[in-house]
Amino acid sequence: MKNFSIPAGWLAGALFAAVAAASPAQAASCEFKPNAPDQHKVVRGDTLWDISGTFLEHPWCWPTVWGMNKDEIRNPHWIYPGQIIYFDRANKRLSLTPPGSGAGAGAGGRAGDPPVVRLAPQIRTEGLGRDAIPSIRADMIEPFLAQHLVVGENEMNSAPRVVAMPDNRYFVGSGDKLYVRGDLKGGTTFQVFRQKEPVIDPVAKKLVAYEAYYLGTVTLSTPAKNASEASIFTVSNAKEEIGVGDLLLPAPPSPIINYVPHPAELRGEARVVQIHGGINYASQNQIVLVNRGTIDGLDIGSVLHLYHAAKTMTDPTRKGLLGFGGEKMTLPEERYGTLFVFRVFKNVSYGLIMEVNQPVEIGDMAKSPE
């Protein structure tokens, strides 16, 4: 199955400029593909993951090869359309200068040659990031960035609630008023949700979060004078009708545009607890929820390998007494795909399935790359 794409954005420089300087262990784990192209022109629609996968066996490992530290990984690095990435096969590196045009003395070139311009993220002070190539396909994950979608138990219990509608109506839409009670904590803009089913860890059999269904956005018009009075809100926009009992949560901060992929520093293993859409199986480019979050070491950009858990079954070639039963055997764990974590909560995280060769199932394991 083809590799999924991540924005061309940062890839360019980090990825290959440091391959030559990488340690043998790093080079072995982050190898170039035998069929890597001689060059790639960055165009709109490219992603870092796509471009990385064009040149490297493992698209996510370029920050390791580049030697990026944690602070650098957490900060965006921008790449823009129009850049050409050249693969210098002789020196195992990428640059913005065509191979043979001069590498400079001491860098594998001839004395007197002009220095090679190493590929590196471009920084612009004007319109920073506006035209940058994204890390992964934004259209795949935008709804999961701008909305909460999963919330903790405490958030649900303490959230302000819609308590009434004008003219005894049951539901309201865009432009309508509604009445809310609860502690707004100084907020003026909120997202409205309807609580759905609890998310249960399939292994620990315990509640890890609540799924919340996004309904729209409301803005405070008249704050309550005291705790016994309701505040008046106006519906700014409504995806669906809002009714009594629906919950208000503060709008999340603006989403980060770029994410640098890096091996997850996960303590233990994660499990797939939910597949978006309420289905039992998922494939490439679909969203899953795993039962690990910030308290377990996951952060934005973490890459996990997906595994089917080991299974115990009866060996059909070894029958027991009178042909019944038989020896028990174990089918080993099998790695079959890659997951890119793009939003992290305390106990759970959303991940985008980047590439798989088998269906993803609820209960499958997700582990840090070895």
| pLDDT of res. 77 | 54
Where do the domains of the chain lie, and which CATH numbers do they carry? Answer: 1-137 (no CATH), 148-250 (no CATH), 264-367 (2.40.10.410)
| pLDDT of res. 134 | 74
Bigger pLDDT: 151 vs 37: 37
Bigger pLDDT: 207 vs 79: 207
Predicted confidence (pLDDT) per residue in 323-353, tens digit: 566 778 888 788 999 999 988 888 899 999 9
Bigger pLDDT: 320 vs 294: 294
In Å, what is the CA distance from 342 to each residue of 58, 140, 141, 257? 18, 11, 8, 10
CA distance 198 to 211: 6
Bigger pLDDT: 88 vs 281: 281
pLDDT at 259 over 80: no
CA distance 268 to 288: 18
Bigger pLDDT: 55 vs 30: 55
Read off the tokens for 287: 């969203």
Mean pLDDT of 209-235: 93
Mean pLDDT of 232-249: 93
Question: Greatest CA separation found in the chain?
Answer: 85
DSSP string of 68-103, one letter each residue: --HHHHHS-----TT-EEEEETTTTEEESS-TTS--
Contact 6, 58 (CB under 8 A): no
Mean pLDDT of 250-263: 69
pLDDT at 69 over 70: no
CA distance 352 to 337: 11
Read off the tokens for 68: 């990026």
Alpha helix (H) ranges present in 101-215? 138-146, 153-158
CA distance 201 to 175: 39
Residue 49, classed as helix, strand or coil, is helix
CA distance 221 to 28: 60
| pLDDT of res. 100 | 75
Q: Which residue has the tokens 């997850």?
A: 264
Mean pLDDT of 294-318: 86
Bigger pLDDT: 110 vs 248: 248
Distance, CA of 181 to chain centre: 35
Predicted confidence (pLDDT) per residue in 100-154, tens digit: 775 443 344 443 333 343 444 433 333 445 677 777 777 778 778 777 678 776 7
Contact 159, 210 (CB under 8 A): no
Give the closest residue to 78 by CA, choosing from 14, 26, 21, 159: 14
Angle 238-244-246 (CA atoms, 0-180°, nearest 5)?
A: 60
DSSP string of 99-134, one letter each residue: TTS---TTTTS-TTPPPP-B------SSSTTTSPPP
CA distance 31 to 59: 10
pLDDT at 370 over 80: no
Mean pLDDT of 198-219: 86
Q: Which residues contact 364 (CB under 8 A, 6 or more apart)?
A: 271, 272, 306, 307, 308, 309
Please provide the size of the chain in residues: 370
Read off the tokens for 196: 């759905």
pLDDT at 43 over 70: yes
| pLDDT of res. 207 | 86
Contact 368, 339 (CB under 8 A): no
* Summary mean pLDDT of the chain: 76
Mean pLDDT of 146-174: 84
Q: Which residues contact 75 (CB under 8 A, 6 or more apart)?
A: none
